[in-house]
Amino acid sequence: MRIGYLVNTYPRPSHSFIRREIAALEAQGLQVHRFAMRGDPAALTDPADRAEHARTERVLEAGGKRLLAGLARQALENPARFFRAMRLVRRRARAGESSLARQIIYLAEGAHVAARAKALGLAHIHAHFGTNSARVAAYARLLGGPRFSFTVHGPEEFDNGLALDLGGKLALAEFCIAVSSYGRSQIFRWSAAEDWEKVHVVHCGLDLPRWAEPSPLPPGALHMVAVGRFAEQKGFGLLIRAFALAWRRNPALRLSLVGDGELRPQIEALIAAEGMGEAVRLLGWQDEAGVRAAMDAAHALVTPSFAEGLPVVIMEAMACARPVIATYIAGIPELVRPGQEGWLVPAGDAEALAETMLQAAETDHATLERMGAAARARVTERHDIRESARRLAALFSRATG
């Protein structure tokens, strides 16, 4: 079976889970053509991401004239189909999903994807994220392209389900993937009950053979690592405030931050204001090997997010046999159980997070090791990318009849 994968910007450092998913599907025997609206090669440090960039067709590189010419051909070849799509364009613009001009751009991108899918013999299109990539796939379908499906990750889609028309996209799609039961419930919020049977939970997965025997916990005082974009929803500013509270009571504590983003100046200022330059390290973006090294050097992962889907970084830390300190939100409690694989704290509560860090610091080495082993066993059972790919392949096969 030959299918297409469609993502807005791909590859990106934070989207390695999509790359793993495609590779696992190809190992199942599927042929996958990668579409992206655009790329961001300057942000790519991982050799695997750079290789994926070379394999990806970027729609906007066709140029505006070519995209509009393709849309005009669609209008001439099948006016009824074109005007049906245009009615949806106007409805979505009036509803505030985006401006009319942007919806027309999405329609032109959909026309291009539909034409390319026909030329490539693609039987199905799968979009990642319920945002504009799913909209482009829906327009491609209305303009004669293949059937489509999409994966919703959150939290952005859950924040704007009505404006993004998740229910309308689901109605047009063959099926939709949620990466957690919580995510499925959020899709149910915004869709008609008669479409709920189209929603399936398929976990993001890890290529577990690449996560060989974990490194032993390092000696010394508690060293935590946090990984992610320095963005509001990730809660890194609150993490620094919480760490400062804990560090003043236990100056041996250490924290490493892997990532970068628009909030880096504020985070640096908070660290400097608290005089924690020796206790907190900013490691910047790291490739997969760099993230693995940072986790191996730590005793636990800390994820202070305010909003999430189900973070892949938690799965990676658990595969490294590291306990997790995370907020009790979204799909996280489906994976991390308090007292077994780690600790869960209320989101937005710096004092509770600080107390939990201190509790983790007081936990003996043997108990941390047992929690890490439990974490590794749980993620191995629930998040094997080969099993996720088998489930996806079965859904694609059923959708194409």
The helix (H) or strand (E) run that includes residue 201 is strand 199-201
Pair 305, 325: CB distance under 8 Å = no
pLDDT at 125: 98
Residues in the chain: 401
pLDDT at 123: 98
Reference 5, options 29, 32, 27, 30; nearest CA is 32
CATH number for the domain whose boundaries are 208-382: 3.40.50.2000
Global pTM exceeds 0.85: yes
As a whole number of angstroms, the distance between CA 79 and CA 81 comes to: 5
pLDDT at 54: 97
pLDDT at 326: 98
pLDDT at 245: 98
Decide if 2-205+384-399 and 208-382 have a common fold: yes
pLDDT at 288: 84
Q: Is the peptide bond before 11 cis (omega within 30 degrees of 0)?
A: yes
CATH 3.30.450.20 at 2-205+384-399, yes or no: no
Instruction: Please give the radius of gyration of the chain, using alpha carbons only, rounded to the nearest integer.
Output: 22
User: What residue ranges do the domains of the chain occupy?
Assistant: 2-205+384-399, 208-382
Hey, is 16 helix, strand or coil? Answer: helix
Pair 335, 315: CB distance under 8 Å = yes
Looking at residue 303, the DSSP 8-state letter turns out to be: E
Write out the chain's pLDDT in tens, 401 residues.
999 999 999 999 888 899 999 999 999 999 999 999 999 999 898 899 999 999 999 999 999 999 999 999 999 999 999 999 999 999 999 999 999 999 999 999 999 999 999 999 999 999 999 999 999 999 999 999 999 999 999 998 998 888 999 999 999 999 999 999 999 999 999 999 999 999 999 999 999 998 888 999 999 999 999 999 999 999 999 999 999 999 999 999 999 999 999 999 999 999 999 999 999 999 998 888 899 999 999 999 999 999 999 999 999 999 999 999 999 999 999 999 999 999 999 999 999 999 999 999 999 999 999 999 999 999 999 999 999 999 999 999 999 98
Looking at residue 60, the DSSP 8-state letter turns out to be: G
Cβ-count burial 114-131 (b if 16+ within 10 Å, e if not):
bbbbeeeebbbbbbbbbb
As a whole number of angstroms, the distance between CA 183 and CA 189 comes to: 10
For residue 150, give the amino acid letter.
F
Looking at residue 62, the DSSP 8-state letter turns out to be: G
